A and B are shown apart, each in its own frame.
Chain A
Amino acid sequence: MTEPPDRYWRAAEPKAAYEVVIVGAGGHGLATAYYLAKNHGITDVCVVEKGWLGGGNMARNTTVIRSNYLWDESAAIYEHSLKLWEGLEEALEFDMQFSQRGVLNLVHDLGDRRSSMRRVNANRLNGVDAEWLDAPDVKDFCPIVNVSSDVRYPVIGGTLQRRGGIARHDKVAWGFATAADRLGVDIVEHAEVTGFTREMADGPVNGVETSLGTIRAKKVALVAAGHSSVLASMVGLRLPIQSHPLQALVSALYQPVLNTVVMSNAVHVYVSQADKGELVMGAGIDAYNSYAQRGSFHVIEHQMAAAVELFPMFAHAQVLRTWGGIVDVCPDASPIIGLTPIPGLFINCGWGTGGFKATPASGWVFAETLAAGEASDLAKPYALDRFTTGALIDEHGAAAVAH
């Protein structure tokens, strides 16, 4: 544990022009700024943020970190991310309460087991640590899980990624912000992007109009999870994205009972216990499009029913606070990273429910892409044109786990 720095990021006054303007001071935008400066020596960078830094999905997610994805393309970028996580606190000299307590995915039926085995085997061959646990091993690893057969959907096993875990979301955003700031990046909060400037009507994008005035840039990077479509539509760019509420909650504080992160797709639970003692849980996505940052209460009730089934002691726990974020969901539940049909405009969006764990790698590959002006290797499969060719990276179609 390192002490908090004596200074976080400055409140920068935006200059008239930058080499790169990043729209969105969430985790991904800030990581992009940091790696632009750190890896590519590009420090003439401004991050503009509509609200307060890290106040979107970064402040609202349930902080699960793992890399055990099915498809090669996913495993590659998420494993790269996990490796970065493993050295991040040192690299940024910043305590992010990163804890590799393991991520346990519960399996409830034969089809579930089949696809989990497929994923575990793929992970191993991709160099991603993954284990299959039979029900008794699940009980050994996480004693409070109910593995009795006398439940509606008995736990018949699980998959475990020991290197998975959690981190303190706010501190991740602040860590990247502070490090980027130290390298000379300007971070401007409470500056809402209201439009884009272009060389000519349909020419390259060469800046953004904000509530604080126009800021020119050679390259503009959209990293505005939740509002990607809204911003893209300002330059007539249509995206295969729908924005949905994703709800989460914390319980009151309890002495430690949960030593790992537990997820169950079949009954829609994912939960971990924060250092302060609250249980942090995610619910399912609400069905309808919304930017309201709130969802419907029956989603929470349904999740509580499932949680009590999996963790009988949670019956006594109390819901302290519920909230909602806005997730940008692509048809294949995989992100879009790279160039757009509009010169000068780059995009990184559509992370759906998987964005937090990808924060370092997302910034890393997007910075690479921005610096080179072409998609980096890890980003290539996530190009916008995959929706035309049909080369989707269908993580939910192929029974991957959510979040």
Chain B
Amino acid sequence: MDVGGSGVDRDSSLGFTFDGTDYLGLAGDTLASALLANGVDVVGASPILGRPRGVVSAGVEEAGAMVEVGAPWLDPIVPATAVELVDGLVAMGRPGVGVLPADATGAQAADHRHLHVETLVVGGGIAGLRAAREATGRVLVVDERHHVGGISPWSTEIEDLTAELVTRDETALITRATALGVYDDGYVVIYERAQPVARVHHVRAARVVLATGAHERPIAFADNDRPGVMLASAARTYVEWFGVRPGNRAVVFSNGRSGLESAMALHEAGVEIAVVLDVGPASQPHRDRLREAGVEVREGWAVAGTEGESRLSAVHVAGPGGESETFDADLLLVAGGWNPAVQLWRGINGGLRYDDATACFVPDGAGPPWLEITGAAAGEGIDPVTPYWYAPAEDLSHHYVDLQRDSTVADVLAATDRRLRSTEHVKRETYIGTAIDQGRTSGVLTAAIVNGAQGAGPGAQGPTNARPPYTPVPFSVLAGLDRGPKLLDPIRTTPIHRWHQERDAPFENVGQWKRPWYFPLGNEDLPAAVHRECLAVRNEVGVMDASTLGKIEIVGPDAARFLDRVYTDRMSTLSVGSIRYGLMLGLDGMVFDDGVVMRLAENRFLATTTTGGAARVLDHMEEWLQTEWPDLRAHCTSVTEQWSTIAMNGPASRRVLEALGTSFPVDAPSFPFMTWREGEVAGIAARVARVSFSGELAYEINVPGWYGVSTWEALMDAGAAHGITPYGTESMHVLRAEKGFVIVGQDTDGTVTPHDLGMSWLVRKDDSDFIGKRSLRRSDTIRPDRKQLVGLLPVEPDQLLPEGAQLVERDTGVIPMAMVGHVTSSYASPILGRTIALAMVESGRARHGQMLHAPLLGATIAAEVTAPIFYDAEGARRDG
């Protein structure tokens, strides 16, 4: 960094293009300083009125010079003062409104990181560097600019502080890094504009020091938006830091000392000062220095207006006695006082108070214990000023308050005339403060005008609240790596997944899981494949990868007692080696999940859950164990992925299992339905269960995950002779629907009780309690006319009721039409050669035999209400 008082390196020039013209700038420039150096005074136009706009500031408070950056990175809309010049930069002026590219190409990539420090200092100006030097442990200093030192002229103190800090092991200093927001418990999100990959630092700091400085604010007068009108301190920054003279002949308008200092600095930098208009408190030494330097200072004089084609050419001034005069000038420097940068402070609910001496809002009271604010941001060392908000005039309609919204003093007064009294209301009426700078230069001024209009003191109402982020941040940067088909959200797969992929099975998203939907042969579509798969299961044998089913081991002396409270039926009476189907209710009595429970040993059970419900059920069990029944000695352990689960269904499944080889007999008498066996299958330790979700003879083979794929392949070989057919979730749904087995989450929706499902037989009647039992007695849950599960047979056996179709008794054609239920599941059943459906229907069980109608676009489908079972009602097939 050039420490010669200038932040640019005169020996390294950079080429850039603005609005199609090539220019040269210097390393260390911002686009704004480079444009000024090249004499580009009109950068863009104003958003609504299209008035010319130039650079008015040297930082993020910029409200004038808005540009689009097209290369080397893309940024649809950004202030020129916040763009660091790089070689090859391409930019164009924009009227505050960006144009989004057609797609994500070239969007800013970003890397997120978690950082832990003892002290985070936001702001690398003198105050921040001082705070960092005092801090111990891990210290991080961030500054939004591409250099430290803030807006103060380069000094040996900054140099020394920087030199000291960079040598400390545990201290890091990151520039181009903006603290977007300060959040609870010392959590600060920082956006580092690194190229080509930006960084987002998620900092957790034991202590946060805000040293965010202050922004100079303008004074409103006629045509104060003209290019060439600039904040005085900004002009000073341009000459001192960037070595650029933003004009040749300047009028300075100041209500405090700092404007006079800026005037002096510009004078010394060779800018001719036509006159200094001083409406501030008497600061004789400053005036004397200026006068000694031959600069005219007029006390009590103010700017009345400006002139110029597009850029400023003359300034009209008015004296205390009403005198008026005009000065030729191409630069008008305005110093209207300072606003501490309290945005981050307010964001975490820090308070403010109005300070009369400096006519600004400063932090008040304490924020969170870990938060401090220091330097100018805390109101320290801010120049006393004489409040001067806008130049009095008949016509205030060209006194601009918010350059980004083309809104004027007249607009604010019009709003208050219409009786809007709150600055929040005025903001919403005029849009002041809603642009990219979020009112940094317009907020306090607006509040002052509103307060004045109501005859209230300047502190009566403060400016509206700026919100995080401190400066805008691209969506793509916040998204970070969490983008695209693989990383937006995890894809969970089973050990057998690759096999399914190799068979080109389309997959269904079930929560985060990918489950094979069906296994097409050749160019089969879904119906064709499902037809074939279902018939294979009914007539021969099929296998499905059921590894995604949730599995929880419940172990401990009180495991049985615990399960009795969790399920609606009794598990403590289950004998070792046996299996029982169970329903789980929420405390509200509604069906929450279902599955089977195996008793593995006296004190050891294995419960299965739905694929989507696994985590929810484990949480549910642990919540009750830990929060309500800590006395119960039972423990839940997820073993979902310990086991690969292969469901083999179909009359030939026993022969396939025998062909595969088991260390235990698998015939029906020695291995009955709803029991499990442990032993060797194909030479490896396995647990096999006689459970069936298709109604066919079925064996559910569980092997350790790492044997999943080889066991599956062995099954395919062993079953080849029987035409063993892999099937997916769609066929599984059809097969279970033919048997009227519900799927929790499809046939139920969180408003369904076991009685509604016709599963009262699963709800024990004794007076022992289980979760949700009491809710089943509420007056609404015992209504006889609740929706109940039924079967539906469309009158036309080839008509398929859409899932989600609503049912009515008569299609009167009159809207609204009373609905009595809806279709939850609907399929063409290959084995029955007709369509079937399950539905929830008011008083459904009393309607068997009745006809209901589904009014659809263009057609109405009639269907007969039946019991929710369509195939093998007597259950003759389950033993093969």
Contacts and interface: CB of A to CB of B under 8 A. Distances in A.
A356 to B, nearest CB: 15
A93 interface: no
Interface in A274-319: 276-277, 292, 294, 296-297, 300-302, 304-309, 312-319
B479 A59 contact: no
Contacts of B876: none
Contact of A308 (B475, B780, B781, B803): B475
A313 B104 contact: yes
Nearest to A307: B475
Given A72-B819, A108-B509, A121-B822, A309 B488 contact: yes
Among B102, B349, B472, B474, max chain A CB count under 10 A is at: B474
B107 A316 contact: yes
Contacts of A11: 419, 421
Contacts of B347: 294
A51 to B, nearest CB: 8
- How big is the A interface, by class? 35 or more
Given A121-B804, A317-B76, A398-B749, A308 B472 contact: no
A152 B486 contact: yes
Contact of B104 (A4, A5, A305, A315): A315
Interface stretch (B93-101, B493-501, B664-672): B93-101
Contacts of A296: 183-184
Residue of B183, B469, B804 with most partner-chain A CB within 10 A: B804
A150 B99 CA distance: 26
A55 interface: yes
Interface in A27-73: 52-53, 55, 59, 72
Interface string A254-283: 110100000000010000000011000000
A237 interface: no
Given A125-B817, A170-B428, A319 B749 contact: no
A175 B762 CA distance: 57
B816 interface: yes
Given A115-B804, A313-B103, A319 B475 contact: yes
Given A254-B100, A390-B775, A315 B485 contact: no
Nearest to A276: B431
A111 to B, nearest CB: 7
B476 A55 contact: no
Interface in B70-122: 74-77, 96-104, 106-108
B420 A8 contact: yes
A253 B76 CA distance: 9
A202 interface: no
B804 A254 contact: no
Contacts of A189: 421-422
A335 B106 CA distance: 45
Contacts of A153: 488-489, 509
B77 A253 contact: yes
Contacts of A398: 749-751
Nearest to A295: B183
A389 B779 contact: yes
A141 interface: no
Nearest to B103: A312
A313 B474 CA distance: 11
B475 A125 contact: no
B424 A55 contact: yes
Interface stretch (A216-224, A227-235, A320-328, A362-370): A320-328
Nearest to B414: A4
B812 to A, nearest CB: 10
B100 A127 contact: no
Interface string B169-197: 00000000000010110010100000000
Given A121-B856, A122-B806, A297-B183, A319 B483 contact: no
Contacts of B760: none
**Most chain A beta-carbon contacts within 10 A, residue among B75, B802, B856:** B802
Contact of B480 (A111, A119, A305, A309): A305
B586 to A, nearest CB: 10
A117 B418 contact: no
A247 B478 CA distance: 16
A128 to B, nearest CB: 9
Given A110-B508, A117-B802, A322-B467, A59 B428 contact: yes
Among the interface residues B436, B749, B808, which one has the most CB atoms of the partner chain A within 10 A? B749
Given A4-B418, A59-B424, A59-B428, A319 B478 contact: yes
B645 to A, nearest CB: 22
Contacts of A151: 484-485, 488
A122 B822 contact: yes
Contacts of A399: 749
Contact of A304 (B104, B479, B781): B479
Contacts of B452: none
B603 to A, nearest CB: 35
A313 B101 contact: yes
Contact of B816 (A111, A126, A318, A388): A126
A318 B468 CA distance: 12
Nearest to B97: A253
B815 interface: yes
A83 to B, nearest CB: 13
Contact of A152 (B108, B488, B804): B488
Contact of A125 (B99, B108, B751, B815): B815
A316 B100 contact: yes
B745 interface: yes
B98 A117 contact: no
A52 B474 CA distance: 32
B822 A118 contact: yes
B855 interface: yes
B588 interface: yes
A10 interface: yes
A152 B472 contact: no
B268 interface: no
A397 B482 contact: no
Given A59-B424, A305-B478, A318 B77 contact: yes
A109 interface: yes
A208 B793 CA distance: 61
A59 B467 CA distance: 14
Interface string A100-116: 00000000111101111
A390 B779 contact: yes
Contact of B98 (A59, A124, A254): A254
A389 B778 contact: yes
Contacts of A297: 181, 183, 187, 189, 468
B418 A8 contact: yes
Nearest to A318: B472
Contacts of B473: 318-319
Interface string B845-857: 0000000001111
B509 to A, nearest CB: 5
A394 interface: yes
B100 A255 contact: yes
A361 interface: no
B424 A314 contact: no
Contacts of A9: 419
A321 B438 CA distance: 8
A303 to B, nearest CB: 9
Given A55-B424, A276-B431, A254 B99 contact: yes
Contact of B803 (A114, A170, A254, A317): A114
10 pairs of A and B residues whose beta carbons are closest in the complex: A117-B804, A397-B750, A315-B107, A118-B804, A318-B472, A390-B778, A390-B780, A312-B104, A315-B476, A315-B104
Given A52-B424, A55-B422, A308-B479, 7 more contacts: A124-B815, A152-B485, A153-B489, A254-B76, A301-B478, A313-B100, A320-B436
Interface of A: 4-11, 52-53, 55, 59, 72, 108-111, 113-122, 124-127, 150-153, 170, 174, 189, 251-255, 257, 267, 276-277, 292, 294, 296-297, 300-302, 304-309, 312-323, 386, 388-392, 394, 397-399
8 contacts: A7-B418, A10-B419, A52-B424, A121-B806, A254-B76, A276-B431, A316-B76, A316-B100
